[in-house]
Chains A and B, each alone.
Chain A
Amino acid sequence: MTESSQHRWAEKYPELGQGPIAVESCISEDYYLREVEKIFKTSWLYVAREEEVAEPGSYKVKRLAFADTSVIVMRGKDGVVRGFHNICSHRGNTLVTETGEETFGHSKAAILSCRFHGWVYGADGALIQVPEEERFYSCFKKKENSLEAIHTEVWAGFVFINLAAEPGQNLHDFLGDYGTHMGDYPYADLSHSYKYHTTLDCNWKIAHDSFAEAYHVTTIHAGSFPNVFSTGLSDVQLFGPHRTCAVCLNMSAEPKPVAALAQKHGRGSLVAKGGSAMLPPTINPSGREDFAFELSVAFPNLFVHISEGIWFTHQFWPLSTGRTLWEGKYYVRAPRTNSERWALEHAQLLQRNAWLEDTQTMENTHRAIASGAKKFMNLQDEEILIRHAYHVIEQRMNAAEQRREQI
């Protein structure tokens, strides 16, 4: 590889500047409320995989705490996936009783029935049955009391919702070149999943930032990934509010006995070099031999990573200024043999441990920033994705507020 500039990303994207970033946005209550209104309530947000609602009548309910609501994502008998607020038109009970952040269910008849008084809705949201309907008054009309729809669209099997009354863009236009860059990957074929979540006492951006660079791998992952990944990024590309890059292998580390056997029996670990048969032609444009995985961020809160035979997501849901729900979901091809299943377990547990290392700094960072002792963070060139994130958030909120002033 030829010697490249130490400031190559700033030279590629000079509009992002090079200065320190104010940390006030991570601890300010006012800033948080503006983010919720101007970003989270108007952006397309990933809430389900299509496989999670694969059959007609299958549904998933996901809590959206920042908006004090939950979305029901349901597939109708017509095959269409639609989204609704989880609230019954009668007296406002949750239509589907939730059992946590994510609740799954299936209705053979593709209907939803409220357990409070038995009101029944179709998968298109229409209110189709009200017990003792004759006791309601003449002003009550079933057709005026459908479920409240939420804009719902699908990209590459990822179901997104948008809480805006009228989204400024459809999902395709919102994702733009990012959708093209990441879309052509066999996500649905790699359906064997391992899922983790936790609630972190930190701002959602601090959680985002911790995963958005490889500068930390030599320190934070000295345990789980010693000498495995390069700290520099490759092929950084910004697509409007979205961003992507490649993380590369160091390839100097020899696997230990059990790790070596796991790598032999199944493709489940980022630590081992993979092929490129599954990767879209847009990925790894430099054709690097040491390519490990693509690390991409769909604005505002979804990380999608792809590698040969492995893809995984991180998502950061704001709960309050200083609280965030983190979800990590790791997908590989369903094992065909018991030994492959064992190998995937080994790979995934090592990845879990790496995530335990990643999440270790977040609450400490938030607590220290909240002291007010430091007003700025300093970013180096390989932390360009973080710089881009703050830049986009600021830009979008200002634009939204200017539009409002003009009205």
Chain B
Amino acid sequence: MSTSLPKSFTALEPLAGAWGLPTQDARQTKRRSSSTAELQEFYDAIVPLLPDILSHVDEFPLGELPPDSLRLYYMSLALAEIAPHIELYRGDPNVPHSFEEERFIAVNGQQPG
């Protein structure tokens, strides 16, 4: 996997190692093991760039992102994972009042993408 990001997004580099994760299961695990402050830091850093990220990834056909862009895309999918926790759950890294997440099996959770 790439260890860099496309040029316009190098500001996100300090967060890319932690959040540029290729599977839904990995992003979910990362969210659940993060603190509220870590979720907020990631959210605050990436949300202003999100419209540009979505424009950037659409310069490539679906599923044909070059390695740097793919790493950036994984970060945006990690944002999809954590956004409800900032926008709806007051920063709680878990879904409040929920069933045990580790017992809830995502059939495709280990597939990259």
Residues of A176-199 contacting chain B, CB below 8 A? 194-199
CB-based contact B89/A335 at 8 Å: no
A80 within 8 A of B: no
Residue contact A196 to B106, C-beta cutoff 8 Å: yes
User: Which residues 75-96 of B sit at the A interface, judged by CB distance below 8 A?
Assistant: 76-77, 79-81, 83-84, 87-89, 95-96
**How far does the alpha carbon of A349 sit from the alpha carbon of B85 in the complex, in Å?**
11
Interface centre among A195, A345, A355, A362 (most CB of B within 10 A): A345
Shortest C-beta distance, B76 to chain A (Å), equals 6
Residues on the A chain within 8 Å of B47, using CB: 257-258
Q: Within residues 243 to 290 of chain A, which ones have a CB less than 8 A from any CB in chain B?
A: 256-259, 261-262, 265
**B108 within 8 A of partner (CB):** yes
Instruction: State whether A338 and B80 are in contact (beta carbons under 8 Å apart), knowing that A196-B105, A353-B98 are contacts in the complex.
Output: no
A186 CA / B43 CA spacing, docked (Å): 37
Q: Are B57 and A339 touching (Cβ within 8 A)?
A: yes
Say whether B7 faces chain A, with CB atoms less than 8 Å apart.
Answer: no
Residues of B within 8 A of A198 (CB): 99, 103-105
B1 within 8 A of A: no
The verdict on A337 contacting B62 (CB below 8 Å), with A195-B107, A196-B104, A198-B103 known, is: yes
Q: A224-B88, A226-B88, A338-B57 are in contact. Are A356 and B104 (CB under 8 A)?
A: yes
Partner of B83, one of A196, A336, A338, A346: A346
Question: Complex: how many Å from CA A197 to CA B105?
Answer: 5
Q: How far is the CB of B20 from chain A (nearest CB, A)?
A: 14
Check B107 against A349 for contact (C-beta < 8 Å).
no
**B94 and chain A: residue at smallest CB distance:** A356
**Contacts known (A194-B108, A346-B80); A339 close to B54, Cβ less than 8 A:** yes
Q: Does A341 sit within 8 A of B, measured CB to CB?
A: yes
- Given A342-B54, A356-B101, A357-B97, A258-B108 contact (CB < 8 Å): no
Which residues of the other chain, B, contact A195 by a CB distance below 8 angstroms?
106-108
By beta carbon, the residue of chain B nearest A341 is B62
Min Cβ gap A386→B in Å is 20
CB distance from B40 to the nearest CB of A (A): 13
Is B51 touching A336 in the complex (CB atoms < 8 A)? no
Whether A356 touches B98, Cβ cut-off 8 Å, given contacts A195-B108, A223-B88, is: yes
Tell me whether B65 is interfacial, beta carbon within 8 Å.
yes
CB-CB under 8 A for A258 and B62, given A195-B108, A223-B88, A342-B57: no
Chain B: minimal CB distance from A218 (Å): 13
The docked-state distance in angstroms from the alpha carbon of A261 to that of B103 is 30
User: Shortest beta-carbon distance, A272 to chain B, in Å?
Assistant: 15
How many A residues touch B, CB cutoff 8 Å? 37
Given contacts A223-B89, A338-B73, A342-B76, contact A349 B81 (CB under 8 A): yes
Nearest Cβ distance between residue A357 and chain B, in whole angstroms?
5
Question: With contacts A224-B88, A258-B87, A356-B95 known, is A342 near B77, CB below 8 A?
Answer: yes
Q: Once the chains bind, are A196 and B107 in contact (CB under 8 Å)?
A: yes
Interface residues of A in 314-347 (CB under 8 A from B): 335-339, 341-342, 345-346
New A-B contacts (6) at CB < 8 Å, excluding given A197-B105, A345-B80, A350-B84 = A259-B83, A342-B77, A342-B80, A346-B83, A356-B101, A359-B99
Q: Which B residues lie at the A interface, using CB under 8 A?
A: 24, 43, 47, 50-51, 54-55, 57-58, 60, 62-63, 65, 73, 76-77, 79-81, 83-84, 87-89, 95-99, 101, 103-108, 113
Give me the interface of A with B, judged by CB distance under 8 Å.
Answer: 194-199, 220, 223-224, 226, 256-259, 261-262, 265, 335-339, 341-342, 345-346, 349-350, 352-353, 355-360, 362
* 6 interchain residue pairs of minimum CB distance: A256-B87, A338-B57, A258-B83, A356-B98, A346-B80, A195-B107
Please name 26 pairs of A and B residues whose Cβ atoms are closer than 8 Å in the assembled complex, sorted by A: A194-B106, A194-B108, A196-B104, A198-B103, A198-B104, A199-B103, A223-B88, A223-B89, A223-B98, A257-B87, A258-B43, A258-B47, A258-B87, A261-B54, A338-B60, A338-B65, A338-B73, A339-B55, A341-B113, A342-B57, A342-B76, A342-B80, A349-B81, A352-B106, A356-B95, A362-B99
